[in-house]
Chains A and B, each alone.
Chain A
Amino acid sequence: MKLARVLARLALLSLAAAVFIVLTQGYAGSLRPPFMSPYRQAARRNRPAEPQGTRFPSFIGEVMALALIAAAGRIVFRLRLSPPVRGEEDVILLDLHREQ
């Protein structure tokens, strides 16, 4: 029973993924060449097959980029999406009354 439920959920997720794949294919079809500059093409063609330990700092750079985006997003979401604290709202209201 539980397995059937998991399989049904997986099927739903796969269906949603299939919809996004169709949309991606549509987007790919709308692209016109050149898709990438020759310099970038050369860089991508020469990517190493084996891991390179010397490139560890670039991995740390990506982790830091992710952390920075998360921190920036945290500030924005906190400022824009969090409801005001009830106590603060009351204080503002009281101030307004006093001014009137």
Chain B
Amino acid sequence: MATHSVVARDSAKPAPWRLKITFWLDVTLLVTVSALETVPFTGLVIHEWLGLAAAAMVFAHLLLSWTWIASHSRRWFTAQSIRSRVNYLLNLTLFAGITAVIFSGILISQKAIPMLTGTKAVPDMDWRWDSIHDRFSNFVLILAGLHLAINWDWALAAGQKIFRRFLEDAL
């Protein structure tokens, strides 16, 4: 989530493995969001399983950012910068959007959920939930882009730190 420095994101001095996991998880999430938007490319089967995997990744992402979530939730009613408030609201809306997409996706699932629950897929599409899934998925793509934008400094610093260490080890 949002801070400018890599070291200050979650704890005073995060372990290198934690930074690596957070960074690569975030990269994977961004690629996954893009892939989930193109059902013809992934196919419906992969799309549904990837969606469920994305739900798990979002939870992991939130757990790794817990210190930020807890501190900003506590400080919401105290004096905070506009940037901080915008970031918090953006993250909250993104979480709401992702929840709506995952929930509607589960309701209209034709392959993954019937396989997991051992039930038969509904023969007719539920257009109400299908339209909600469609609308919120576009909304999530926009919010994910804005989430990346507001956390750009962190992403850049983390990337530089990881790749610098990788290059130093390689040379």
Which A residues are closer than 8 A to B by beta carbons?
Answer: 6, 9-10, 13, 16-17, 20-21, 23-24, 27-28, 31, 33-36, 41, 44-45, 47-53, 55-56, 58-59, 61-63, 65-74, 76-77, 81-83
Contact B83 A82 (CB under 8 A): yes
Task: Give the complex CA separation of A41 and B59 in angstroms.
Answer: 32
Asked whether A63 and B40 contact (CB < 8 A) given A20-B96, A69-B142, A70-B148, the answer is no
Task: Give the complex CA separation of A61 and B141 in angstroms.
Answer: 12
Contact A77 B31 (CB under 8 A): no
In this complex, what residue of A is CB-closest to B143? A69
Query: Which chain B residues numbered 39 to 92 have a C-beta less than 8 Å away from chain A?
Result: 39-46, 59, 62-63, 66, 81-83, 86
Please, which residues of chain A bring their CB within 8 A of the CB of B35? Answer: 59, 62
Please, which residues of chain B bring their CB within 8 A of the CB of A10? Answer: 59, 63
Asked whether A74 and B100 contact (CB < 8 A) given A13-B59, A27-B132, A50-B45, the answer is no
How many of B's residues come within 8 Å of A, CB to CB? 47
Contact B131 A21 (CB under 8 A): no
Task: Give the complex CA separation of A21 and B83 in angstroms.
Answer: 28
Please, which residues of chain A bring their CB within 8 A of the CB of B82? Answer: 81
Please, which residues of chain B bring their CB within 8 A of the CB of A21? Answer: 99-100, 103
Contact A62 B34 (CB under 8 A): yes
Please, which residues of chain B bring their CB within 8 A of the CB of A23? Answer: 96
Q: Contact string, B5-49, partner A, CB cutoff 8 A, digits 1/0?
A: 000000000000000000000000011011101111111111000
Q: Point out the residue from A17, A33, A41, A49 that lies within 8 Å of B44, measured CB to CB.
A: A49
Question: B1 interface residue, CB < 8 Å from A?
Answer: no
Asked whether A9 and B34 contact (CB < 8 A) given A31-B132, A70-B145, A77-B83, the answer is no
Please, which residues of chain B bring their CB within 8 A of the CB of A83? Answer: 81
Task: Give the complex CA separation of A65 and B148 in angstroms.
Answer: 13
Contact B146 A70 (CB under 8 A): yes
Please, which residues of chain B bring their CB within 8 A of the CB of A82? Answer: 83
Asked whether A51 and B152 contact (CB < 8 A) given A59-B34, A73-B145, the answer is no
Task: Give the complex CA separation of A77 and B62 in angstroms.
Answer: 22
Residue of B81, B82, B144, B152 contacting most chain A CB atoms (<10 Å): B152
Please, which residues of chain B bring their CB within 8 A of the CB of A65? Answer: 141, 145
Contact B141 A62 (CB under 8 A): yes
Contact A77 B150 (CB under 8 A): yes
Q: Contact string, B91-113, partner A, CB cutoff 8 A, digits 1/0?
A: 00001100110011000000100
